[in-house]
Amino acid sequence: MSVKPRLYKGFRDIFATDIRQRNAMIETIRNVYELYGFQPLETPAIEYVDILGKFLPESDQPEGGIFSWKNEDNEWIALRYDLTAPLSRVVSMYPDLPKPFRRYQVGPVYRFEKPGPGRFREFYQFDFDTVGTSSVIADAEICCVICDTFDALGIEIGQYIVKVNNRKVLNGVLEAAGLTNFSKVITSEIVDAKGSIRKSVKEVTTNDIFRSIDKIDKIGMDGVVQLLTSGRRDSSGDFTPGLQLSDQEVQSLVRYLTTRGENRALVCDQLEDIVGKSPIGLEGISELREIDRHLTALGYEVNQVEFDPLIVRGLSYYTGPVYEGILTFQITDEDGMIKSFGSVFGGGRYDNLVERFTGQKVPATGASIGVDRLLAALTTLNRHRIHSSLTEVLVTILDKNYATEYHQIVHTLRKAGIKTELFLGSGNIGKQLKYADSLRIPFAIIAGESEFEKGTVQIKDLELGRQLSDTISDRSEWRQEQPAQFEVPKENMVAEIIKRLNRTR
Amino acid sequence: MSVKPRLYKGFRDIFATDIRQRNAMIETIRNVYELYGFQPLETPAIEYVDILGKFLPESDQPEGGIFSWKNEDNEWIALRYDLTAPLSRVVSMYPDLPKPFRRYQVGPVYRFEKPGPGRFREFYQFDFDTVGTSSVIADAEICCVICDTFDALGIEIGQYIVKVNNRKVLNGVLEAAGLTNFSKVITSEIVDAKGSIRKSVKEVTTNDIFRSIDKIDKIGMDGVVQLLTSGRRDSSGDFTPGLQLSDQEVQSLVRYLTTRGENRALVCDQLEDIVGKSPIGLEGISELREIDRHLTALGYEVNQVEFDPLIVRGLSYYTGPVYEGILTFQITDEDGMIKSFGSVFGGGRYDNLVERFTGQKVPATGASIGVDRLLAALTTLNRHRIHSSLTEVLVTILDKNYATEYHQIVHTLRKAGIKTELFLGSGNIGKQLKYADSLRIPFAIIAGESEFEKGTVQIKDLELGRQLSDTISDRSEWRQEQPAQFEVPKENMVAEIIKRLNRTR
């Protein structure tokens, strides 16, 4: 008969402290976004599947990656998997929206993927985008927003870096190397770890070059070169056939990928050498130079925003500048490995995304925060930690005959703006104080017949009590002195509590 | 090829002003809830169907009322339709939660129902509940929270009333009238509007008595009496067979339903007469008396909270006190009829809801706000209206050669905490000011070569301009004087904007 209480896998409940930490962080970020003129938008959790588009793994049936089902009219509907696809719908549905349309949106998105530790199927994103301008100043601004957000959250310069690249430069490098329309069929004999041989035939394109480059974080430059040439055997013994690029082709890619410079202008100078006369490459570099000019004019130096040719970004819809906001401080991962925290902001320019609705080009650029990852980072850095209880006072019930009097005490405290709870469970004073302890409520009010007759209350400073109990070892001494409990006239109660709250606030 | 941008019916986009109004309201309510010691909780949007239970219209297949589909393991999952069922899951899943567990939750819920004007399939609820106490003080507190919320929102005494009843009293009245296990088969001949006759055979129970009473708002006392006795023909000619209660039975119900009193204690006195010796009825009245005692001790008089036997509440899981927070001021509905705004808060005690998981009784009580309806009420009352733009200054671009200089102006304003947008669209100054107008941004900064040389900027007070343009009719005079535009040295810009913003804030 009875139902087993349980959560669907990949979903979770979030309790008070975590919610308050997340909300405090969101509030801080919201203030930064609003300072830049971004305004809130909310779209529904459910959209038509064709509106969301197929920017997650491809499949004819809407299954992989998204929660979808058929509605009353036999149409496929789904839970949104990001906030960008709905934004592009909004922009094309309301042509009268003043442009540029600068909006932020924060809310849960849903992925029908295999859940794991720290990987949920419902998680928060917090996006901001400028839609309707091709001005690269908008891209420079995105970088400023990311820096200012880190600053506002108390993450210091040196603990983060914003890395910028431009898809156009990468395309220019490919163009200069004659790889723009790269496409070939690769036949290879694969000897697996057990020694058996099988033949592999695979058609590869420019996308496979991007994909190879995108793996540099995991496999290093040598690994990338192997993938671009003869193929790579990983530590498990599995073999990935290579793209069989020529030495010259690989050289120009490696030269591009190893481009470094002391400042952004120097990176641009070097990139200019590599893209040669490629028009798209030169356009990309010119955009980077404009971004650099604006960042420099506003005082965002290379220790905050750098140009990094290694930033590729997985999503297929990016067309220009791409950005990542990376936390560089080190953490120990689940496997005990020390590594830098990594990317928490990601974004870029996507000038063609709205086009699939209107047929009209509506240029756009923006970025998105992984809210949960950023929150985990703040926890690591001990920023925005919330230790205290939301509730400030527990009024205990010593004698049920005085129920309305206790309630009046509660009412008085609330009228003074003090978050107060009347204990409504069952149990003696010991159990009531234990309840306050388990919620980490800092103060308790205790009053019995003698206090009501005298017109006083006992204030118990539970936080002080916790501290003192660490220093006093003698339990009888403790019981006698009650050093963290004191009696005050009722009319002084509010002032006394406020005084003590201010001390710890 | 191109996809038509469209929303799934019953869903909507919400833009900046509406979001800000709703968030401001939610913030105000949250402060009240937290003052009472309620703490935030978040549960997933998706739950197993059997967890949510069948408290919406019954059906074997999970269809009516909820969005549901089968997951990868062929189990039924669904979007939550309220926040109470998930709360009862949480309470039974985490037995170590300190009790009483006082939580609030705000968020969207989903109903797979026919949408209509103002009726959406995704809408916000804002619940607060105390779980794990049978103390009726918790119920008194719920009434205080509702009153305090109305007060905090600027709704005055006289514009609202909290109505309280107790299911136990109603059960007592039925017991006293010998109707506790009411059950009969009613056979009736129905003559429809066209004169044709059909036979109706129907089994009715106590629930049908509740349902008849619950219709009093729409059909009045006479209509209820008809439903309880011989049946009722509505204005369309449709006939509903009656429950064929005896005169005596109906009399005691009518006596109950017409119970009124100048204060809460008098209502209790009269109810005591009606329930006679019914134990459950007397228990209910004793609870109402305790609620009255607490409310009176805290100064919540009958002009804020009254006892009203007509409050029944539809949901089947209520077991004790039930509450409605009603807005009494009058509005004109879609059909041009004048009526009072109606209920925006609803709740009650549900001592058996957690039991279906644990088998253990976990008493609980709480209430829920219809966020959208309350927001509509505030709009009607002209409370919490937001007219102004979030963004305070638009820096226009007169001469693209100064792009970085404009950006520096923007940066200076943002550093001073002024929400500033750099115009990144295309178009001359006229188009840029029109953009500011359409967003109702109050100030624009304008600067060209001569201003940059002099080290000044032009501040255009767009709000003042709008006001003045209503008084000045001569367009040439307007153009010459530019009364709402003035030049200031760059270093005074921030101070000047802040001074003027403070004037209107």
Q: Which residue has the tokens 């916000």?
A: B124
Closest by CA to B284, choosing from B134, B367, B143, B171, is B171
**In whole angstroms, what is the distance from residue A208 CA to residue B353 CA?**
56
* A and B: number of Cβ contacts within 8 A: 242
Give the model's confidence band at B490: pLDDT under 50 very low, under 70 low, under 90 confident, else very high. Answer: very high
Of A13, A359, A404, the CB nearest to B43: A13
- Considering chain A, what is the average pLDDT of its residues? 89
Q: What is the pLDDT of residues B35-92, one digit of tens each?
A: 999 999 999 999 999 999 865 543 333 456 899 999 999 999 999 999 999 999 999 9
**Binary contact (B424, A297; C-beta < 8 A):** no
Q: Write down the number of H helices and E strands in chain B.
A: 18, 20
Domain A16-45+80-176+248-381 superfamily per CATH: Bira Bifunctional Protein; Domain 2 (3.30.930.10)
- For residue B314, the model assigns a pLDDT of 61
Q: Which of A276-290, B49-63, B306-320, B472-486 has the lowest mean pLDDT?
A: B49-63
Q: Is the separation of the CB atoms in A88 and A353 below 8 Å? A: yes
Q: Distance (Å) from the C-alpha of residue A455 to the closest C-alpha of chain B?
A: 17
Instruction: Check CB contact of A114 with chain B, cutoff 8 Å.
Output: no
**Binary contact (A358, B98; C-beta < 8 A):** no
- The bridge status of strand B443-446 relative to strand B393-395 is parallel
Chain A neighbors of B391, CB-CB under 8 A: 34, 37, 39
Q: Distance (Å) from the C-alpha of residue A424 to the closest C-alpha of chain B?
A: 6
What mean pLDDT comes out for the span A455-480?
A: 77
- For residue B202, the model assigns a pLDDT of 82
**Binary contact (B4, A357; C-beta < 8 A):** yes
Q: What is the pLDDT of residues B206-243, one digit of tens each?
A: 878 888 888 888 899 999 999 999 999 888 888 888 99
What mean pLDDT comes out for the span A467-482?
A: 65
Q: Which of A49-63, B367-381, B476-490 has the highest mean pLDDT?
A: B367-381
- For residue B285, the model assigns a pLDDT of 97
Q: What's domain B393-504's architecture?
A: 3-Layer(aba) Sandwich (3.40)
**Binary contact (B100, A425; C-beta < 8 A):** yes
- For residue B61, the model assigns a pLDDT of 38
- For residue A338, the model assigns a pLDDT of 86
CA distances for B323 relative to A87, B150, B326, B342, B447, angstroms: 40, 14, 9, 13, 60
CA B190 to chain centre: 40
CA distances for B108 relative to A151, A166, B280, angstroms: 32, 39, 37
Amino acid sitting at position A205: T
Instruction: Check CB contact of A63 with chain B, cutoff 8 Å.
Output: no
- For residue B216, the model assigns a pLDDT of 86
Q: What is the pTM of this model?
A: 0.89
**Three-state DSSP class for residue A455:** coil
Q: Which of A75-79, B55-59, B344-348, B490-494 has the lowest mean pLDDT?
A: B55-59
Q: What is the pLDDT of residues A405-433, one digit of tens each?
A: 999 999 999 999 999 999 999 999 999 99
- For residue B60, the model assigns a pLDDT of 37
- For residue A193, the model assigns a pLDDT of 65
Give the model's confidence band at A268: pLDDT under 50 very low, under 70 low, under 90 confident, else very high. Answer: very high
List the single best residue of B1, B13, B124 to mutate versus A (max A Cβ within 10 A): B13
Rama region for A182: left / alpha / beta (φ>0; ψ in -120 to 50; rest): beta
Q: Which of B46-60, B129-143, B346-360 has the lowest mean pLDDT?
A: B46-60
- Where are chain B's structural domains? 16-45+80-176+248-381, 183-244, 393-504
Q: What is the pLDDT of residues A358-394, one digit of tens each?
A: 888 899 999 999 999 999 999 888 776 666 778 999 9
**Binary contact (A407, B130; C-beta < 8 A):** no
Burial class (CB in 10 A: 0-12, 13-18, 19+), B73: exposed
Q: Is the separation of the CB atoms in A228 and A209 below 8 Å? A: yes
Give the model's confidence band at A15: pLDDT under 50 very low, under 70 low, under 90 confident, else very high. Answer: very high
- For residue A243, the model assigns a pLDDT of 92
Residue B471 pLDDT greater than 80, yes or no: no
Do the two domains A16-45+80-176+248-381 and A393-504 of this chain adopt the same fold? no
